[in-house]
Homo-oligomer: A and B are copies of this chain.
Amino acid sequence: MTANQTFTNAKFDAGWSIRFESDEAAPAGGRVVSHRARSLIVDEGDASNAVYEIVEGGVMVFKLLPDGRRQIIEVLGVGDVFGLAPTSVSDVSAEALTPVRLVAFDRRAVEGDPALRDRLFNRLRSQICALHDHALLLGRKSAQERIATFIMRLVPGRGGVACTGPGRTGQTGRDDRTQVGLAMTRQEIADYLGLTIETVSRAFSALRREGIIAYEKQDEVRIANVCRLCHLTGSH
């Protein structure tokens, strides 16, 4: 019942794997749709009249240039919304990062339902902060800082929009899980951070060499030194 309010953070803090045990899985006017990992949900230029809210899983929103360059604009988790272009033509593409369950609302349903629109609106406000933060990353941070920021964003309660800086563990009481799952390939990380795959790889290797992070599987990272990593983000 309180579920909708608990995911306060704009980032993918909430994780991708949290199961949404809701009794209103398909709220009024919405229909639930599922997608396999890496399947395309909407394509830039599509005349889609749906607004999506993520119930389970993760979604990547991206844009392409004619020559193939890709920028992943945002990585969304449970509770996030997308498909809110001002016209009925989508300005971005969206792809499932993990197996994903979505609620698709018809555009008209959104217009007619103030409560729903309110929820989307509030959600959107968080996401806009994330977009702001990401613009700062893309415009002004070095490759190292981008990778550090990226990893820190995955730490629950840290690295997000309202990260309180390098304080000690357990600001909310819960233990500082320093093991994070990336869930993205190096190419996806590169396209998200505005880098190349090689630069991403090198930055990860450098962090490992310096003992700040550790990993065997390349998408399961243990953060050995949260404080140092946090400093490397450039934000603190």
Q: Interface of A with B (CB < 8 Å)? A: 8, 10, 61, 63, 65-67, 69-71, 73, 84-87, 89, 91-92, 114, 117-118, 121-122, 124-126, 128-129, 131-136, 138-141, 161-162, 191, 193-194, 234-236
Contacts and interface: CB of A to CB of B under 8 A. Distances in A.
Contact of A135 (B10, B135, B140): B135
Query: This chain: how many copies in the complex?
Result: 2
A79 B61 CA distance: 26
Contacts of A124: 121, 124, 128
Contact of A138 (B10, B85, B133, B194): B194
A133 B63 contact: yes
Contact of A131 (B89, B128, B140, B236): B128
Nearest to A9: B86
Contacts of A126: 86
Given A71-B139, A91-B132, A138-B139, 7 more contacts: A63-B133, A73-B132, A73-B136, A86-B122, A124-B124, A128-B131, A139-B193
Contacts of A66: 234-236
A118 B134 CA distance: 26
Contacts of A140: 65, 69-71, 194
B194 A65 contact: no
A44 to B, nearest CB: 10
A117 B139 CA distance: 31
A86 B234 CA distance: 23
Nearest to A193: B139
